[in-house]
A and B are shown apart, each in its own frame.
Chain A
Amino acid sequence: MFEVLVFATLNGLVTGLLLFMLASGLTLIFSMMGVLNFAHASFYMLGAYFAYSISLYLGFWPGLLIAPLLVGLLGALIERYGLRRVHQHGHVAELVFTFGLAFLIDEAVQFFWGPDTKNYQSPDVLDFPLFTLFGQEFSAYRGFMIGISVLIFIGLYRLLTRSRVGIIIQAAITHPHTVANLGHNVPLIFMAVFGVGSALAGVAGVIAGPVLTTFPGMATVLGSIVFVIVVIGGLGSLAGALIASLLIGLLQSYAIASNLGVADLLNLFGLEFSRDHLLTDLWTLTLPQIAPILPYLLLILVLIFRPTGLLGNREQ
């Protein structure tokens, strides 16, 4: 029991931190432009595919550097020539634009790389067990994933709160006109933030690609979960995104690891139902089964009872 718990915690931590890497970029972009970027998970997928193609020629490590840069550049270009144009038609048009972009990137990935799964491997250097606990191995690559995510969180946090650039960005979020009057190029800041946010998604893609497999559906798998995290954590809040990511990661991991079900709950109260019933599915429901829907349940509850999210301080 204990060992299951420990490994569920570790796996939840890895997933949660990975989700955070996606969510941090998304929440940064949201707090600047007020637009939820549907294509964010598509940038994550692009990161994985770019890194895969680069790793064929140069190996894993150059890919880790070049792929996010490419994704960031693409993101900046999309902001400059797409999003900025749609901005004048309002938020709905922006949301619809990013939705269409996600659709297009999905198709483009299938066009360039084909519909099959790519054999994108983690580097050999990290191909050893970091430690062995209760006879189960924890691979060094997963440790590496945790390390990178923590570094990004600290780096981003310091950049936003301690550096001059970060202060200008923060000011541009709340008072764009004042910042513009002080002589800063606000549209350029927006473009840069969008680029950096996309690049962060790209990094997540590069390091998640080998673990979660690189295939054209990988954006859809994570796409809506990332939204859930950003909304639960509070739109625009970096710390909230971290808490929500870890919460969702651990919640799903525990739910999958446990083998509890409604039947156990009913047994607790000494109730028993016949199996031959229209509602059989309800009585035989188990936690691992409902693990995929837990985040959405949480999302709806949060939106109903606390629309600002856990740490958010403004309502859209």
Chain B
Amino acid sequence: MKKILTKSLVWIGYLAVLLLLPQFFDSILAVSLFNQMAIAIVFALSYNMLLGQGGMLSFGHAVYFGLGGFLAVHALLLIEFETVYFSIVYIPLLAGLVGLLAALFIGSFSTRKAGTVFAMISLGIGELLAASSLIFVSFFGGEAGVSGDRTYGPPLFGVEFFQGIEIYYLAAAWVFVATLFMYLFTQTPAGRMANAVRDNPERAEFIGYSARRVRYISFCASGFFAGIAGGLYALNYEFVTEETLNAVTSGRVLLMAYIGGLGYFIGPILGAVILTLMNSLLSNYTDLWMLYLGILFLLTVLFLPKGFAGFIMMHRVAWLQRRIRKLVLPYLATAIPAMVFMATCVLMLELSHIEDESISVLNMELSASSSSTWLGLLLIASTSMLVTRRTLPALREAWESANHVADEPESKS
């Protein structure tokens, strides 16, 4: 009973955050950022259904997103020319159904195997569709894409969806419903079996489940939710191009889900928020943000194989043992020099890339051409790295003592 209560509290909190966010940040920029986040969250969660929960690595997930987006934009056009007449709030559902249809067809042959074969088929289909979208101009609009206008539909309670904030509330509603249903899916037998098939398909088959059918169900559900995300994308931008279904978008969603943390339900949400923030905030300050993103991604794969969510969840034992406080100091001791090291590296990268002669940092003018600047930066970088490496054993020790469960010295005495 208590568990259900805490769970529903989490969901109410999630809904409250979704609804209240624009109350605190109400600039046009912030709202457009929230819209992007909403789309990214649904998309990344749908991807996690495949890779995180079903163990299917897809390099062509944008197919369902893009098809949903294109259908949504065509639906907008149909409304505009009064072929059909319905409120645009249903468009994401329609887009989701297209994603589902595409997944029903593609999944019927691609889910036979997981692993490399599945990954290669998804890559092939992704490239196939991206290339054909440039050929079939009447539907995909070629390089220029297709644009529509969301304001022609019948108003809903007087809302005509002129402004970004109105779209945000629509998107927030869809995000909440989609997240809830995706969570509920993980609790169904199909969702549970997806985990089993991911971990050991052979054993799942021995219990009497067809691994292929289990994968197929996850795949279709994932396509459906990706389509919903595509529909939201079309409503937000009123403009869909070939890029929504090509490899770049497929890659981005993989990055989001992986950096956030596969396997944890909250992971892709984290990843979507982090990457959207990086995407729009960092790109204002530096041209090199894609490079930083690549570095962040590789570091995550190397050192945090379960992503940020996995990193947070690592501390569960220490938290339950009430020893999390023991970790604070060692963490700070490692994190501060590590931060200094990273900041210096970023500074060196930026310094080597600017057009102007110098950057001012902490009231210091750093000249790109003077060798003393470079020597100083290199010195700081190498010292901070050495210090970081020196503090690592202490951190490891603290970690082990905090996570140590059985036969502690206190309990013996």
Contacts and interface: CB of A to CB of B under 8 A. Distances in A.
A224 B247 contact: yes
Interface residues of B, number: 42
A36 B118 CA distance: 13
B124 interface: yes
B387 interface: no
B212 to A, nearest CB: 13
A296 B291 contact: no
Contact of B124 (A228, A290, A307): A228
B127 A224 contact: yes
B291 A104 contact: yes
Contacts of B55: 92
A95 interface: yes
A300 B125 contact: yes
B411 interface: no
Interface in A80-123: 82, 85-86, 89, 91-93, 95-97, 99-101, 103-104, 106-108, 110-111
A92 B297 contact: no
Interface stretch (A205-213, A244-252, A277-285): A277-285
Q: Binding site of B, secondary structure by majority: helix, strand, loop or mixed?
A: helix
Nearest to B142: A281
Contacts of B115: 91-92, 316
A51 interface: no
A275 B353 CA distance: 53
A118 to B, nearest CB: 18
Contacts of A315: 113, 117
A62 interface: no
B297 A95 contact: no
Given A104-B295, A285-B135, A95 B119 contact: yes
A275 B255 CA distance: 43
A279 to B, nearest CB: 8
Interface stretch (B273-281, B298-306, B326-334): B298-306
A263 to B, nearest CB: 15
A174 interface: no
Interface of A: 36, 82, 85-86, 89, 91-93, 95-97, 99-101, 103-104, 106-108, 110-111, 220, 224, 227-228, 231, 235, 278-282, 285, 289-290, 292-293, 296-297, 299-300, 303-304, 307, 315-316
Q: Which 9 A-B pairs have the closest CB atoms?
A: A104-B294, A299-B124, A107-B291, A296-B128, A293-B131, A100-B297, A316-B116, A296-B124, A281-B136
